[in-house]
Amino acid sequence: MTGAGTWSIAEDDHRKITEHLAALLQESQARCALVVDRTGQMLANAGDALKFDPAAFASLTAADFSANDQLAKMIGEPEFASLFHQGEKESMYLADVARRAILVVLFDQRTTVGMVRLKVKQTVTDLSRVFEEMFGRASQGGGAKAPGLLEGAEDEIDKLFGD
Amino acid sequence: MSMINYASREINCKLVYYGPGLGGKTTNLEHVYTKVAPDQRGKMVSLATETERTLFFDFLPVDLGTIRGFKTRFHLYTVPGQVYYNASRKLILKGVDGVVFVADSQVERMEANVEAMQNLYDNMAQYGYDLTKVPFLIQYNKRDLPNAAPIKDLQAQLNPGWPVEDPAKQKPAPDPWHAGESLVFQQDGAWVERAPYFEAVAVTGEGVFETLKAVAKLVLITLG
Ligand SMILES: Nc1nc2c(ncn2[C@@H]2O[C@H](COP(=O)(O)OP(=O)(O)OP(=O)(O)O)[C@@H](O)[C@H]2O)c(=O)[nH]1
Ligand SMILES: [Mg+2]
């Protein structure tokens, strides 16, 4: 590999992810759920409208997770598959999805961390399947990799950046 | 790793500003933040020490326009330049699509620049990324200072060029940003490629957008 590469998320993948998130919220009574990729980009969310800047939140989530990954290695664990941050009213639970993405669940006193943890397990399995399919297609050179969305767009790119 | 989202019709790319401590990476992002219209940028997040040295990263998302109906959104990150913070510096490089090396032009900082460049190369290699193959450019910052080294010296130390092995690329390529200079050329019979470079004074904003646009453009072209 020479660079980080490209991948893409199709409308259909996005719909599947959002459906799994909605199911999780229903079963766990959590407030909202988000999926962020490992480089810090927000992929999908469901539940209560976000009251914060989603991009900032996503970048911090990825940084939090990757810093903890390194801490895990230092103490001899391959990874921390999940993280729990407890607040007075709001708490968050983060779980790894197939080493590709991070599932973040925000919840309050209407539920418990035990319930969230329990329900997240199924969602992680479901989401992992979606991501593995998406990336499987990408590595076969079709589907998830945008086949030359910007092919021949040099003129347009020039125009965009010409002053 | 760039991500094309067909649901939200966005192309997301990650750009990282790398370089020695106090070179002006955070200042680059601050300038972009103040100059871009609020509806075209997000919140700037800075994880810094009490003395404003970057501890983990700065983050700023900016929209640079629309191509083929897709919004091009660039996530700008800076790393902490201080040698001590290598572990966090490395984490930020994960999934990078384009790199800007912000060099401190001051003569006294030459060694720090060279060390940071070597460190960038090593950290990229640990992810399996090849610095000579990803969109990469160098910004010579602090050109306003009287002790700034001549560009020629900075180029010789930080951007001497790498051998071009791919026969398809072994042809002269002019530097589109500097008339009369080349990015691919022959030296002692061998083909050599250099990273594009820009001069800047990040505190006044000079060269900041030029650098950003150039790296963004290189990233979009590689997406092609
Ligand atoms: N004279 C001059 N000073 C500059 C320039 N750019 C940045 N500075 C100053 O250099 C100092 C360091 O700038 P930062 O942007 O914080 O540097 P950094 O690269 O983010 O440093 P770290 O976070 O430690 O890696 C600040 O006091 C800036 O005002 C420039 O072009 N000219
Ligand atoms: Mg900084």
Cα–Cα distance for residue pair B173/B106, rounded to 1 Å:
29
> Domain map of chain B by residue range?
3-159+195-223, 166-194
- Ligand 2 centre to CA of B80 (Å) is 6
| Of the partner residues A55, A150, A152, the one whose CB lies closest to the CB of residue B220 | A150
Residues B94-114 as b or e (16 or more Cβ within 10 Å = b)? bbbbbbbbbbbbbeebbebbe
How close does chain A come to B145, measured CA to CA in Å?
28
Chain A residue numbers with beta carbons less than 8 Å from the beta carbon of B223 are 6, 146, 149-150
> Domain map of chain A by residue range?
4-161
Tokens coding B25: 């990476």
Is residue B26 in contact with ligand 1, taking CB distance under 6 Å? yes
Phi-psi region of B128 (alpha: psi -120 to 50; beta: other; left: phi over 0): left
Phi-psi region of B195 (alpha: psi -120 to 50; beta: other; left: phi over 0): beta
Provide mean pLDDT across the span B181-188: 94
The answer, yes or no, to whether residue B52 has pLDDT greater than 80, is yes
Range B3-159+195-223 classified under CATH 3.40.50.300? yes
User: A4-161 sits in which CATH class?
Assistant: alpha beta
| pLDDT value at residue A77 | 93
| pLDDT value at residue A161 | 76
Give percent of chain B with pLDDT exceeding 90.
Answer: 88
The answer, yes or no, to whether residue B26 has pLDDT greater than 60, is yes
Cα–Cα distance for residue pair A32/A26, rounded to 1 Å:
10
Is residue B203 in contact with ligand 1, taking CB distance under 6 Å? yes
| Of the partner residues B7, B130, B221, the one whose CB lies closest to the CB of residue A2 | B130
CA distances from A71 to A67, A79, A111, B89 (A): 6, 8, 29, 15
Q: Does B179 touch chain A if contact means CB atoms closer than 8 Å?
A: no
Q: Does B59 touch chain A if contact means CB atoms closer than 8 Å?
A: yes
Of the two residues A116 and A152, the one the predictor is more confident about is A116
A33-82 pLDDT, tens digit each: 999 998 888 999 999 999 999 999 999 999 999 889 889 999 999 989 99
The answer, yes or no, to whether residue A4 has pLDDT greater than 80, is no
Cα end-to-end span (Å), chain A: 34
B109-118 pLDDT, tens digit each: 999 999 999 9
| pLDDT value at residue A163 | 56
Q: Does A96 touch chain B if contact means CB atoms closer than 8 Å?
A: no
Q: Whole-model pTM?
A: 0.92
Is residue B78 in contact with ligand 1, taking CB distance under 6 Å? yes
Of the two residues A141 and A53, the one the predictor is more confident about is A53
